[in-house]
Amino acid sequence: MDFSYRMQTQIEFGDGRAAKLADDLSLLFKPGESLMVVTDPGVLQTGMFEPLLQMLHKARYQVALFSDVKPNPRDEDCLRGAALMREQNVSAVVAVGGGSAMDTAKTIALLGRSGGVPREYADGERLYEEVAPIICLPTTAGTGSEVTRSAVITEHATHRKMTLKHERLRPTLAILDPLLTRSVPPSVTAATGVDALVHAIEGATCRLSTPLSRAFGEQAMQLIVPSLRRAVACGEDLDARRAMLEGSLLAGLSFGSTDVAAVHCLAEALGGLYDTPHGVANAVFLPSVLHFNAEAYPVLHARLARVMNFASTADSDQLAVAKLLDGIRAWTAELGIPKLRDLASVRVEDFEHLADLAFQNGSTKSNVRPVTREDYQTLLDETYQWT
C-alpha cells in the first residue's frame, strides 16, 4: 500500500536533558521575548518546576504562567489561556506536564494566533491558519502528545470530547527527560502507561496503519508491557522510567501518523461524560475491544500476543489470541486499574448515550474491524459485566 509519514518535531531524549531547555530556546527566541508556560497544578507543586522557571528567568525571557489545566482539558480554559497569550504578546508556548497540559498548550497556541473556539476547528468550520511554536516537556509517559499533531479537548457545555488535528499542532521541540517522570505517583503511572500501550496497539493495527506505524507501535509494545509494572512498583526505577518514556514516544510516533480506534472512542465518551482519567478509561475497554477485533482478525492479534510476549511462536494462533486476552486482563489488574463497574460515577442508564458518543467519534471508522453503534452498546454491556 502507499503511505506517507511526516514528523518535523525535533526530539531530544536523555536523563537531565530538561536542564538545557534555555539553550534550546536561545536558538529559537531572543532574550526579552515572552513565553507562556503551561502546566497543571500538580506539576507546579513538584520540586522540578521551580528550577525550570528560574532557568527561563535567568535567560531573560518574560514568562506568562498558565496552570489552569484540568485532567480532561476544557475548551473554556484554553480560551482563557489564549486571551492571556494575546495580552502578553507570547512568542511560544512551553508545556511542562502530561497529556492534558500539552493538549491545552497546543490549543492555546492555536486559539491565541488564529482565534475562534476549539469546536470550530474540530468540526472543520475554521482553518488552522497560524499556531505559535509549541515546546513540550512531558512529565508522564503516556500521551505521546509531544510528537503528535492532535489535541483532545472537552467541550464543557456538552461533555463532548473533540479532537483537533492538524500538522501545525505538532510541537517544534520535544524534550524527553526521564528524570521528570520520577515523581509521578503509581496510579497515574499505571493509567498513563496503559494509554501509551493502547496508542501502540491502535496505531499499529488501525485501518490507516503503515509499515512505520507498525514498526514504532510494536517496539513500543515490547518496551511498555514489561516496564510499566516496574515503574508502578518503584517510581525511582530509572531504567523502567526510561523505557516507559521511550515506549510512549514510539507509541506517539505510531498513532500520531495514523489514528487511534475503538478503545479510544469508548474511552473518550466515558471521559467526556464522567471526567474519568483518560488512561483508566482506555484500560477499562482494552480487553473487550481486543476480543471484538480478534474475532475478525485472529492472525493479526496472535501476532500482537507474541510481540508483547503473552504467547510464543510455538502457540497456535487461536491459543495466542486467548493468551493475549487473558494476559492483558491480568496485566491491567496487576497494575491496579479498576474495572468499569467499579468506577463510582458510571451508570448503566447512560450506556446508550455513551454508545452514541463513541460512534460519533471520528476514529470509529479507523478501527480495524468495522464497528456499529450497536457494537459499542454490546461492548459497554460486556465490559460492565466482567468481574
Question: Which parts of this chain interact with Fe ion (CB under 5 A)?
Answer: 195
SS3 for 2? coil
- For the bound state, the minimum distance from the C-beta of residue 264 to Fe ion, rounded and expressed in Å, comes to 6
To Fe ion, the closest distance from the beta carbon of 145 in angstroms equals 9
Please give the residue whose beta carbon sits closest to Fe ion in the complex.
195
CA distances from 377 to 114, 272, 326, 373 (A): 38, 17, 22, 6
Of 225, 11, 34, 185, nearest in space to 98 by CA: 185
Of residues 195 and 259, the one with the C-beta less far from Fe ion: 195
236 close to 325: Cβ distance less than 8 angstroms:
no
Residue (191 or 304) nearer to Fe ion, CB:
191
- If the CB atoms of residues 109 and 267 are measured against Fe ion, the closer one turns out to be 267
DSSP class of 74: B
C-alpha span between 214 and 173 (Å, rounded): 24
- Comparison of 252 and 327: residue with beta carbon closer to Fe ion: 252
Three cell numbers at 140? Answer: 508522564
Which amino acid is residue 100, in one-letter code? S
In the complex, what is the shortest distance from the CB of residue 282 to Fe ion, in angstroms, rounded to a whole number?
Answer: 6
Residue 91 vs 257, nearer CB to Fe ion:
257
Cβ atoms of residues 83 and 49 within 8 Å: no
Kindly state the smallest distance separating residue 194's Cβ from Fe ion, in Å: 9
Query: Is 348 within 8 Å of 384 (Cβ atoms)?
Result: yes
Distance from C-alpha of 248 to C-alpha of 176, rounded to nearest angstrom = 10
User: DSSP letters along 123-181, please?
Assistant: TTSS-------EEEEESSSS--GGG-SEEEEEETTTTEEEEEE-GGGS-SEEEE-GGGG
**Residue 199 or 323 with smaller CB distance to Fe ion:** 199
Q: Which is nearer to Fe ion, 40 or 195 (CB)?
A: 195
The least distance separating Fe ion from the CB of residue 244, rounded to whole angstroms, comes to 15
The bridge status of strand 173-176 relative to strand 134-138 is parallel
Shortest separation between residue 267's beta carbon and Fe ion, angstroms: 7
What's the closest the beta carbon of residue 75 comes to Fe ion, in angstroms?
Answer: 18
